[in-house]
Amino acid sequence: MKAKTISIALIFTLFLSGCVVYSFYPLYTKDNLFANNILTGNWLDEDGTQWFFKHPEIGGKGEVKTDSLSYVLKVIEKDSVESEFAIHIIKLGGHYFLDFYLNDFLGDEDLSLASFHSIPVHTFAKLTVAGNKLQINWFDQGWLEDLITENKIRIRHEKNDDFVLLTAKPRELQKFVIKYSDSKEAFKEGMNIVLTRQK
């Protein structure tokens, strides 16, 4: 799949397409996380989809605090379809990276047989911050498959006819990300999004 800006016209497909790298484990560990407001606010992609990043609230009644180490991302498309993700941001090798995990993968209602055969996974992307814009680039699944097939990389994974699922633990994933963070080939055919901050 050629690099393109996705409208998130079903951002759910991000986890089911062949254009991103899937991981069973997250990219981060607790000691990688840091308090920040880099993503906080309302953003718009080039197709008019709204992205709302905010810190989640924690604690009981009267003791509500904000968890500034993570984000809740709500994506609202033009047709009002909503998706909600848990987002974590870490810095590796001089670059920011985002870990995406779909919160409402199964939803609370209308469960079907297909729902029970769908397992949420993590994906991760390189983040570039430039003024009022965010550039998000996901690693390409095809590129990863080629590396594994050609024995150019050793990383724990499972592979079937459709895709590769990384099963490496966070520390191993981080070494992988750092090694290829400046590789143009790693992102050449992957998904990418440009977000503009809304006032």
Q: Report if residue 175 sits inside a domain.
A: yes
Give 3's pLDDT tier (boundaries 50, 70, 90): very low
Q: What is the Cα–Cα distance from 64 to 77, expressed in whole angstroms?
A: 30
Q: What total of structural domains would you count in the chain?
A: 1
**Can you give the pLDDT at residue 199?**
81
The answer as to whether 138 is a domain residue is yes
Domain ranges, residue 101: 4-36+87-197
Q: Is residue 156 part of a domain?
A: yes
- In-domain check, residue 127: yes
**Each residue's pLDDT tens digit, 26-41:** 999 999 999 999 999 9
Give the SS3 label for residue 87. strand
Let me know if residue 41 belongs to a domain: no
Question: CB-based burial of residue 37 (10 Å sphere; 0-12 exposed, 13-18 middle, 19+ buried)?
Answer: exposed
Residues in the chain: 199
Residue 73 maps to a domain: no
Is residue 150 assigned to a domain?
yes
Give the model confidence (pLDDT) of 114-129 as tens digits.
655 567 789 999 999 9
For residue 166, tell me if it sits in a domain: yes
What is the full DSSP assignment across 134-194?
Answer: EEEEEPPHHHHHHHHHTT-----EEE-SS-EEE---HHHHHHHHHHHTT-HHHHHTSEEEE
